[in-house]
Amino acid sequence: MKISFLGLGAIGRPMAARLARLHQLTVWNRSADRATSFAAEHGARHASSPRDAAAGAEVVITCLPTSADVLSLLDGPDGLLAGLASGTLFLDCTSGDGATTRRIAERLEPLGVDFADAPVSGGTNGAEAGTLTVMVGGSPAVFERALPVLSGFGKRVVRMGPLGTGDAMKAVNNMLLGVNILALGEGLTALVKAGVSPRVAVETLNASSGRSFVSEALIPDRVLTGAWPRTFRLALLDKDAGICLQMLRELGLPAPLLERAGALLHEAREILGEEADYLEPIQLAERRSGAEIRG
Among 4, 29, 180, 215, binds ligand NDP (CB under 6 A): 29
x/- site string to ligand NDP, residues 93 to 112, per CB under 6 A? -xx-----------------
Give ∠ CA 88-91-96 in degrees, rounded to 5. Answer: 145
Instruction: Please give the residues from 47 up to 66 whose contact with ligand NDP meets the rule CB under 6 A.
Output: 63-65
Hey, what amino acid is at 178?
A: G
Q: For the CB of residue 43, give the shortest distance to ligand NDP in the complex, in Å.
A: 20
Nearer to ligand NDP, 72 or 225 (CB): 72
User: What is the C-alpha to C-alpha distance for residues 71 and 102, in angstroms, rounded to an integer?
Assistant: 10
12: contact with ligand NDP by CB under 6 A:
yes
Among 34, 51, 159, 269, binds ligand NDP (CB under 6 A): 34
* Stretch touching ligand NDP by CB under 6 A, among 23-31, 147-155, 180-188, 221-229: 23-31
User: What is the C-alpha to C-alpha distance for residues 185 and 183, in angstroms, rounded to an integer?
Assistant: 5
Instruction: Please give the residues from 166 up to 205 whose contact with ligand NDP meets the rule CB under 6 A.
Output: none
Q: For the CB of residue 37, give the shortest distance to ligand NDP in the complex, in Å.
A: 11
155, 170, 193, 239: the catalytic one is 170
123: contact with ligand NDP by CB under 6 A:
yes
Give the CB-nearest residue to ligand NDP.
9
x/- site string to ligand NDP, residues 218 to 247, per CB under 6 A? -------------xxx--x-----------
30: contact with ligand NDP by CB under 6 A:
yes
18: contact with ligand NDP by CB under 6 A:
no
155 is catalytic: no
3-state SS assignment for residue 75 = coil
User: What is the C-alpha to C-alpha distance for residues 191 and 253, in angstroms, rounded to an integer?
Assistant: 34
Q: For the CB of residue 209, give the shortest distance to ligand NDP in the complex, in Å.
A: 27
Q: For the CB of residue 234, give the shortest distance to ligand NDP in the complex, in Å.
A: 11
Among 22, 55, 58, 69, binds ligand NDP (CB under 6 A): 69
- Interaxial angle between packed helices 165-193 and 198-205, expressed in degrees from 0 to 180 and rounded to the nearest 10: 130
Hey, what amino acid is at 264?
A: L
Q: Which residues are designated catalytic? A: 170
Q: Which residues bind ligand NDP (CB under 6 A)?
A: 7-12, 29-31, 34, 63-65, 69, 72-73, 94-95, 120-121, 123-124, 231-233, 236
